[in-house]
């Protein structure tokens, strides 16, 4: 057999041996261990199978070399497979680690956003509380101012009514006849009647010159003391205790309105006023009444403006309370929605 024939024979042997090994030489760790521990048996099986199929007596040494070569290939395949698997596993772990880090960073950012929202809600709540307190304080101040304006307006109105009433009474002839035409004395009576009405809280019709202050108008000893003080303030006079007791303002005695008027009238020192011509004095009274009426009207307008401002302040306080309720809800809703939005992204 020449060299070419021998080479061809070895080539066919290699092919036949590899065909036999293809059936058992799967690239797994378990199969590799099995083949490594049973090389001789595999050599025998492969050689026997070749002989049975072709009648050719294979060289066992050659078959063993083929098997050893195949084992090297299997080791290399398993190694490559292990390296690929390790690379894929490392890649998967890196990806998982990256996802974990990204989720941790996202969770941290969401926590910061939640903290910012809570801090903002707390600041807004504090600011709203301050605004509500300011609104309440302003409303209280406006309410106080409104009460003062009402009181002033009421005083002005009463003063205007009194001035008008005085002017009307002084023009009535029947009224002046009670005082023998003395308009100055009639004016003092009207002022005295106002004091009695104010201090005793009685009807205007009950007060006349013959009215008994204690037994008819119902004043007790405390009312009499307060009445004497009010008369001193109204007419700018001084009533000594002995004179007050003498005329019936103090003690157990009583007096009529006429007696009190007769006591007050001489003490009035406004002689310049009584010397004025009657027409001029009436004109002055009318002018005073008109001024007081205008002032009362102005105070009424101011009171209306103050009421409008108070209503506006109340409305603003209600709006602030509504905003205070809405802001925490919006902040909470925003904090709840942000994680969902980020997860969708």
Active site residue 220: yes
Domain that holds residue 34: 3-104
Let me know whether 110 and 100 are in one domain: no
Let me know whether 129 and 212 are in one domain: no
Per the structure, the count of domains in the chain is 3
Do 270 and 191 form a contact (C-beta atoms < 8 A)? no
Backbone torsion region of residue 208, taken as left when φ is above 0, otherwise alpha when ψ lies between -120 and 50, otherwise beta: beta
Per-residue pLDDT of the chain (345 residues; tens, 9 = 90+): 577 777 787 788 888 888 888 888 888 888 888 888 888 888 898 888 888 888 888 888 888 888 888 889 889 998 999 899 999 999 999 999 999 999 999 999 999 999 999 998 889 888 888 888 888 888 888 888 888 888 887 877 777 676 666 666 555 656 777 788 788 888 899 899 999 998 888 888 888 999 998 888 888 888 888 988 999 999 989 989 888 888 888 877 788 999 999 999 998 855 434 444 555 666 676 777 677 777 767 777 877 887 887 788 788 778 877 877 766 676 677 666 655 554 555
* Residue 159 located in a structural domain: yes
Catalytic residue among 210, 220, 241, 270: 220
* Residue 322 located in a structural domain: no
Rounded (10°) angle between helices 3-22 and 39-54:
110
In this structure, what are the phi and psi dihedrals at residue 316, rounded to the nearest 5 degrees? -65, -40
Let me know whether 132 and 173 are in one domain: no
Query: What is the Cα Rg of the chain in Å?
Result: 60
Residue showing tokens 């009171």: 303
* Residue 319 located in a structural domain: no
Let me know whether 86 and 27 are in one domain: yes
Dig out the tokens for 223 from the structure.
């009312």
Neighbour tally for 210: CB within 10 Å? 8
* Residue 290 located in a structural domain: yes
* Residue 68 located in a structural domain: yes
Dihedral of CA atoms 218, 220, 223, 224 in degrees, nearest 10, equals 100
* Residue 91 located in a structural domain: yes
Let me know whether 15 and 157 are in one domain: no
Dig out the tokens for 213 from the structure.
């202050």
* Residue 321 located in a structural domain: no
* Residue 320 located in a structural domain: no
Let me know whether 134 and 151 are in one domain: no
The three-class DSSP label of residue 1 is: coil
Dig out the tokens for 45 from the structure.
């099986």
Show the DSSP H helices in the chain as ranges. Answer: 3-22, 29-37, 39-54, 60-170, 173-177, 183-200, 221-235, 241-247, 257-267, 271-275, 278-344
Looking at residue 180, what DSSP letter applies? Answer: T
Let me know whether 190 and 305 are in one domain: yes
Which tens digit of pLDDT belongs to each residue from 147-176? 888 888 787 777 767 666 666 655 565 677
Let me know whether 266 and 194 are in one domain: yes
Let me know whether 179 and 134 are in one domain: no
């Amino acid at each position: 057999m020449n060299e070419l024939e021998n080479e061809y024979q070895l080539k066919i042997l290699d092919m036949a041996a590899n065909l036999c090994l293809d059936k058992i030489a799967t690239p797994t760790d378990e199969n590799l261990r099995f083949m490594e521990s049973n090389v001789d048996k595999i050599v025998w099986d492969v050689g026997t199978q070749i002989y049975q199929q072709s009648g050719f007596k294979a060289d066992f040494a050659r078959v063993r070399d083929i098997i050893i070569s195949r084992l090297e290939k299997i080791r290399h395949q398993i190694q490559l497979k292990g390296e690929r698997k390790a690379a894929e596993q490392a890649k998967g772990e890196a990806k998982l680690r990256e996802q974990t880090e990204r989720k941790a960073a996202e969770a941290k950012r969401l926590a910061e956003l939640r903290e910012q929202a809570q801090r903002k809600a707390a600041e807004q709540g504090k600011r709203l509380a301050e605004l509500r307190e300011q609104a309440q304080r302003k409303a209280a101040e406006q309410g106080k101012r409104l009460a003062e304006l009402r009181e002033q307006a009421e005083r002005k109105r009463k003063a205007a009514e009194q001035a008008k009433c005085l002017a009307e009474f002084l023009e009535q002839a029947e009224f002046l006849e009670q005082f023998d035409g003395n308009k100055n004395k009639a004016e003092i009576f009207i002022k005295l009647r106002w004091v009695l009405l104010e201090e005793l809280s009685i009807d205007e019709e009950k007060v006349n010159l013959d009215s008994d202050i204690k037994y008819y108008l119902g004043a007790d000893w405390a009312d009499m003391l307060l009445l004497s003080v009010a008369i001193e303030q109204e007419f700018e006079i001084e009533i000594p205790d002995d004179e007050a007791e003498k005329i019936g303002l103090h003690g157990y005695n009583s007096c009529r309105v006429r007696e009190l008027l007769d006591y007050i009238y001489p003490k009035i020192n406004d002689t310049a006023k009584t010397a004025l011509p009657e027409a001029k004095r009436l004109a002055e009274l009318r002018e005073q009444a008109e001024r007081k009426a205008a002032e009362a009207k102005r105070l009424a307008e101011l009171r209306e403006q103050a009421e409008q401002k108070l209503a506006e302040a109340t409305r603003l306080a209600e709006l602030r309370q509504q905003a205070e309720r809405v802001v925490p809800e919006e902040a909470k809703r925003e904090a709840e929605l942000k994680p969902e939005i980020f997860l969708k992204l």
